[in-house]
Structure 1
Amino acid sequence: MPCGAQAQIIGYDQPDAEGGEGAAQAEPYKPSKRAGRGKGSRRLVVQPYIEVNQVVTAELSPGDDVLTYTEVAAGIDAGISGQRNAVSASVRYERRIGWSDRASDGDAISGIVRGYATVVPGVTIEAGGLATQVNVENGGSALAGGLFDGDSRTNVYSIYGGPSVATRAGDVNINANYRAGFTKVEHSDAFVATPGGAASDVFDKSVVQVADVEAGVAPYDVLPVGLAVAGSFYQEDISNLDQRVRDMQARAMVTVPVSRTVQAVGAIGYEDVEISSRDALRDADGDPVVGSNGRFVTDKSAPRQIAYDVDGLIWDVAVMWRPSRRTSLSAHVGRRYGTTSYGGTLAYAPNDRSQFSVSVYDNVAGFGGHLNRLIDELPDDFEAVRDPITGDLRGCVSSLEGSNCLAGALGSVRSATFRAPGIAASYSRRIGLMNAGIGAGYDRRKFIAAEGTILASANGVIDENYWLAAYISGALGRDAGWSANAYANWLSSSDPLVGDVSGYGVTAAYYRLLTQRLRATAAVGIDGATRDDPAINDIWTASALVGLRYNF
């Protein structure tokens, strides 16, 4: 399912959402799934609100502290769609006020935005963003931000945007995309097990640029087969030790219709992938210098060190099956990054009230580029799923369109770049007045760093993240409703300094309208983190909330 932020992938088209005559027939490769689209039901929902909540948290393990907080929050939920634009957004600012010295004050901004706007026919602007919190463990493992308090809570921000163009020159279809993105992790400390020893440096920020262009003809427009040529460029500049990922490729493709519902695509081309960085500044004793922000200071005078340099022939063979406008399957195998690479997508919507999707991916990127890609794959029509006690975003959004989970992107916040094969699946369904969904996946990151630099200890380290997220909500008459959600993360690392860690959480809430605009809420929840190291205690916390929300 290609899109602008996936220029590293040889992409294949998704189902034709327009339907109509001939929609079941397979179509040629298109590098953008949204450029030039013009359909969409009209919808306008903009709901600003303010909240005041009272929260009690009880530590179940390893201690028994009971802390009380007052939450004051303001936010907006919006869903806008028309013939030429669409956006879904949920943004919230929250201030926590502790009732004792042990209950620290704090604030948080969380939100998710995804949308597009048509400038002129064939030209659209895509944009999206994410703000959330995670709990960063020693070594860079990142659990969902379920634990209400603690110094490990870290803000993550990511935005991207850019134009997509789709046009024709005679029989030739021309498509082009550009995206720029920025990601920031507000965590100041690099974990060092022993003074002067190896460190797991936490990601700071990065800038991503992605561009691709493709021109081709469809089968039977000129020849019985479709022909196309394409090129793409990806670059991510990471502030930690001036790391840089650069991937350039050019390719030619042939599309062969096999039947009314099946087509095969073959691609061959050339790719050049390079990852480089600089070393940390050293003091008189040869130890790396750590700046005031807790991260290694980059030696700007040092030459770049090459960590990964692969160039040469790439190829890819794909099969696409589209028996109806509600079902699409693509699977491909080829040679990328000097080795065999697999990928594919499945989209199945048996009716208008349910959908199932699977995505298999394989990319080389940094944390920021990986997160930007997953935000770009989110649908334009969704509702945010939030923890009713903390206000945090959960791993998935509620939607009946395509891939709708982000949990796989947040398993590790190491600064080093990586190759990440993985799989993500999601299923959502409307059952009467209820909405329900579940997502699950696996993300494997093998980190890449230059020998002879401070990051060398991360080279070859493998972090694995198994994740699960689920939600369900429903109405109780005209004036009341309920919701529940749950998440789980199982993180493991081959780094001997980092143990395996797991995070779990479940919440339930009851809502009731007191007036047309005033709503009362009661919620309970439990969160926990367990580790395989018997010397580190497990952490379990139970919470309860009562509050009022006023919708403007």
Structure 2
Amino acid sequence: MTRRGGWICAIAVATIGIVPVSAPANAAERDRSIAPYIEIGQVVTADLTTDDVLTYSTLAAGVEASLQTRRTQAQVSYRYERRLSYDKRVGDNTIHSGLARGAIRLVPGISLDGGAIATRVRSDIRGAAPGNLAGNVDNIAQLYSGYLGPTLASHVGPVGVGASYRYGFTKADAPGRTGVPAGSAALDVFDTAQSHVFTAQAGVKPGRVLPVGLTVSGAYEIDTASQLDQRYESTLGRADAVLPILPSVAITAGAGYEKIIVTQKDPLRDAAGAPVVDGRGRFVTDAAAAPRIAYETDGLIYDGGVIWRPSPRTSLQARVGRRYGGMTYSGSFSYAASRSIGMQIAVYDSVDTFARQLRQGLAGLPTSFIDQRDVFGQQFSGCTFGATSGAAGGCLNGVFQSIATAAYRARGIDGVLSARHGALNFGVGAGFATRRFLAPADTGFSIDGVTDESVYAQAFLAAPIDRSSGINGTIFANYYESGLSAAPGVFGTGATGLYFHNFGRIAAQATAGIYSFNQKGIDDQLSAQAQLGMRYHF
């Protein structure tokens, strides 16, 4: 592909999100591995504020698998853990933690893309922010999400055509206790959601027919959530042009039509007028109520910007325009300093639902990522670091600042740096996210117009000591601010470290972590956790 021809691909990806399956950087490179394991461990947790100490045992099974070839790029990291307690204060339960990302070229021009995640995340942004996600902790819910669908890419003469379909599903368990003071207003508690997304495009490269490259694209999406029968529906059609003005610089502009409508039903109310909730804290939907509009936009959208690509290793794109009834700003930057060091930064602005934003964030994660070998359930609730410089990784912190059912305007910035040198891995991620909620007014208590904010940072290091042992560690800090009245900000920090030594197929490991969070009006919380375990690799 010529340098000029590359601009049309950049616009296609930026406009409707069709991502082609690409071969490894070295076309001759092949990487296949699968490592199932079982593990047993003994855990001690301590509340350093109250001096309360609990112990329990764990049984776990998992798999680490990767396949990187010309036709397939896929990786799976999954862990199932069962806790066995000696104390009634520690309930026996199960924890699922995992990430899967893959892209497979089925036949020339047709590929299959998918991803799935299982993790534990905060539920109510006003509540506790424990860094330890696997224990007797408040405000934590088990979550599962995934998407799958085909992509078509072909040519009709000089015209490149493409289409895709994605199906997504998300499920979150109820969190139980949230740490929110008694008497606080109830918020809707997410249950399930599913989505269908259809996209299509056609375009010509600059210089093939005209000096400018032209792309026409369209998309239709529907996302439905069970809580209050929420429904998100969008239709988009637009045209984009790209004009190279220098060997490494092009200007771009686009315009089109977009319609988005978000509706939900009212909760059922008791004799006193209060919303009725079920045994898991979710609102009971009033089946007889008519859907009410939470958000609606219908009309012209437009934007323009610049694309800078001085080399195959560096790319910058920035756009400004009008959408969602106001100004919007978005952009991205990627830089592969070498084969082992990569950086990615993204600025985003969109009207989203929780499940929709999670699906898009999951699709943005690399198909080859660094396994952080975490036994406390934190690995996939924050930043994931790529194993190649061409895909540095991404952060889901902006999505996971809390689980929300209501739609919202999401804006923020994420940045990730990932580096590898032999068996040494290093990653840093940070970002800022804000969500302005969109909900029907005059329904008693409404979060319409309420704005949540979060700031987050994370660093990860994995280093070998010798051929049989190594260490890894993670540190993180998060700040959450809810716009709800009488809901002070929450600041949480934590650090986790692990040492392992391999004896053939058997590995001994020791893990320790310390976590804290504080909130105005509530005593600071400080806790620690440690585990000694043995892992057997098949």
Q: Give the TM-score normalised by the residue count of structure 1.
A: 0.91
1:528-539 equivalences under 5 Å are 528-533=516-521, 536-539=522-525
CA gap 1:125/1:433 in 2 versus in 1, 3 angstroms:
closer
The range that moved more, 207-216 or 373-382, is 207-216
Aligned-pair CA distance for 1:283: 3.0
Conserved 8 A contact 1:247-1:271: yes
Conserved 8 A contact 2:384-2:395: yes
Aligned-pair CA distance for 1:491: 0.2
Aligned-pair CA distance for 1:383: 2.4
1:329 alignment counterpart: 316
Aligned-pair CA distance for 1:118: 1.4
Aligned-pair CA distance for 1:42: 1.5
Q: State the alpha-carbon separation in 1 of the partners of residues 402 and 286 from structure 2.
A: 25
Q: State the alpha-carbon separation in 2 of the partners of residues 392 and 99 from structure 1.
A: 27
Counterpart of 2:529 (choices 543, 546, 549) is: 543
CA gap 1:152/1:181 in 2 versus in 1, 3 angstroms:
same
Counterpart of 1:494 (choices 473, 479, 483) is: 483
Mapped pair 1:263 → 2:245: no
Aligned-pair CA distance for 1:435: 0.6
1:14 alignment counterpart: none
Conserved 8 A contact 1:139-1:498: yes
Q: Give the TM-score normalised by the residue count of structure 2.
A: 0.93
Q: State the alpha-carbon separation in 2 of the partners of residues 91 and 252 from structure 1.
A: 41
2:279 alignment counterpart: 292
1:16 alignment counterpart: none
Q: State the alpha-carbon separation in 1 of the partners of residues 273 and 234 from structure 2.
A: 34
Q: State the alpha-carbon separation in 2 of the partners of residues 190 and 105 from structure 1.
A: 17
Q: State the alpha-carbon separation in 2 of the partners of residues 362 and 144 from structure 1.
A: 28
1:275 alignment counterpart: 262
CA offsets, 1:18-43, max 9 Å, x none?
xx874996445223553354556311
The range that moved more, 375-384 or 199-208, is 199-208
Residue identity (%): 38
Counterpart of 1:525 (choices 503, 507, 513) is: 513
CA gap 1:542/1:376 in 2 versus in 1, 3 angstroms:
same
- For 1:107, the aligned partner's letter is T
Conserved 8 A contact 1:144-1:503: yes
Q: State the alpha-carbon separation in 1 of the partners of residues 398 and 477 from structure 2.
A: 11
Could you list the runs of 5+ residues in structure 2 that have no partner in the other structure? none
CA offsets, 1:105-126, max 9 Å, x none?
2211111100011121111111
2:498 alignment counterpart: 509
Counterpart of 1:90 (choices 44, 63, 77) is: 77
CA gap 1:129/1:143 in 2 versus in 1, 3 angstroms:
farther
Q: State the alpha-carbon separation in 1 of the partners of residues 535 and 467 from structure 2.
A: 17
2:472 alignment counterpart: 483
The range that moved more, 424-433 or 213-222, is 424-433
Conserved 8 A contact 1:24-1:322: no
1:44-83 equivalences under 5 Å are 44-61=32-49, 63-83=50-70
CA gap 1:486/1:267 in 2 versus in 1, 3 angstroms:
same
Aligned-pair CA distance for 1:313: 1.0
Counterpart of 1:252 (choices 239, 259, 266) is: 239
Conserved 8 A contact 2:133-2:140: no
2:414 alignment counterpart: 424
1:462 alignment counterpart: 451
CA offsets, 1:386-410, max 9 Å, x none?
4344575452223232333222210
- For 2:442, the aligned partner's letter is G
1:392-403 equivalences under 5 Å are 393=380, 395-399=382-386, 400=388, 401-403=391-393
Could you list the runs of 5+ residues in structure 1 that have no partner in the other structure? 1-19
Q: State the alpha-carbon separation in 2 of the partners of residues 57 and 319 from structure 1.
A: 52
- For 2:167, the aligned partner's letter is A
Conserved 8 A contact 1:145-1:153: no
- For 2:426, the aligned partner's letter is A
Q: State the alpha-carbon separation in 1 of the partners of residues 223 and 35 from structure 2.
A: 36
CA offsets, 1:480-499, max 9 Å, x none?
11111112110001101422
CA offsets, 1:72-126, max 9 Å, x none?
1000011111111111111110011122222332211111100011121111111
Conserved 8 A contact 1:141-1:412: no
Mapped pair 1:237 → 2:224: yes
Q: CA RMSD in A?
A: 2.2
Q: State the alpha-carbon separation in 1 of the partners of residues 18 and 415 from structure 2.
A: 19
How many residues were matched structurally? 527
Q: State the alpha-carbon separation in 2 of the partners of residues 360 and 55 from structure 1.
A: 40
Mapped pair 1:405 → 2:395: yes
1:30 alignment counterpart: 12
The range that moved more, 329-338 or 207-216, is 207-216
1:332-481 equivalences under 5 Å are 332-390=319-377, 393=380, 395-399=382-386, 400=388, 401-453=391-443, 456-481=445-470
Q: State the alpha-carbon separation in 2 of the partners of residues 141 and 27 from structure 1.
A: 46
